[in-house]
Amino acid sequence: MPTLRALIGASELDTRIRELAAQIDRDYPEGPVYQIGILKGAFIFLADLARAMNTPARIEFVGISSYGSGRTSSGEVRLTKDLDVSIEGYDVVVVEDIVDSGVTLHYLMQVFAQRKPKSLRVATLLDKPEHRQRPVHVDYVGFKIPDEFVVGFGLDYAEDYRNLKDICVLGLSPD
Ligand code: IMP
Ligand code: MG
């Protein structure tokens, strides 16, 4: 049976996301800032971050798949949904749920950099730095977490648990 243990509670998430939003406001006082959310995991973080910001934001999403239905990375990145707009000449903040190996973000940053944005930064709710395989620079980090598999607040395991209000560690029996 799967077990869930709360790691970061809803109010802690809320407080930290407001801090990140204030930081982004300071860094981009004018706007608009293109916030590009990576589907599906980033949808809740992006919604909260964008609403906590005062700087005008434009919201876009890309779809990417780097994981199968399990808990380990396939190491293969695929763009399943591209941007609908040009980001040339705009300030862009890529919004990610969690950076683990860095493979996904490394790939995406290359893709976006080729499109000549004015600036390109990354905001991630969670950073799990222990398994980095690719160097990635993350500008705004919500929480650094240990190497455990987490779900909730947008993050899933095989499409389950995305609507949990807390970030929880998922424990599965080894069989
Ligand atoms: P990376 O390419 O290994 O950095 O993986 C990033 C993506 O893997 C994230 O956007 C998540 O979708 C997924 N991922 C990595 N770790 C976790 C986790 O602990 N729980 C849920 N999804 C995860
Ligand atoms: Mg993701």
List Cα–Cα distances, 132 to 30, 79, 102, 104, in angstroms: 34, 21, 6, 11
pLDDT for 172 equals: 79
Integer Cα distance of 124 and 52 in angstroms: 15
For a substitution probing ligand 1, which of 44, 67, 79, 150 has the most ligand atoms within 8 Å of its CB? 67
pLDDT for 169 equals: 98
3-state secondary structure of 10: helix
Q: Are 62 and 82 in contact (CB under 8 A)?
A: yes
Cβ–ligand 1 distance for 136 under 6 Å, the answer no
Q: Which atom of ligand 1 is nearest to the CA of 38?
A: 10
Structure tokens at 135: 């160097």
- pLDDT by residue for the chain (175 residues), tens digit each? 789 999 999 999 999 999 999 999 999 999 999 999 999 999 999 999 999 999 999 999 999 876 555 555 556 788 899 999 999 999 999 999 999 999 999 999 999 999 999 999 999 999 999 989 999 999 999 999 999 999 999 999 999 999 999 999 999 776 5
Whether the model pTM is above 0.75: yes
pLDDT for 174 equals: 67
How many helices (H) does the chain have, and how many strands (E)? Answer: 3, 9
pLDDT for 71 equals: 57
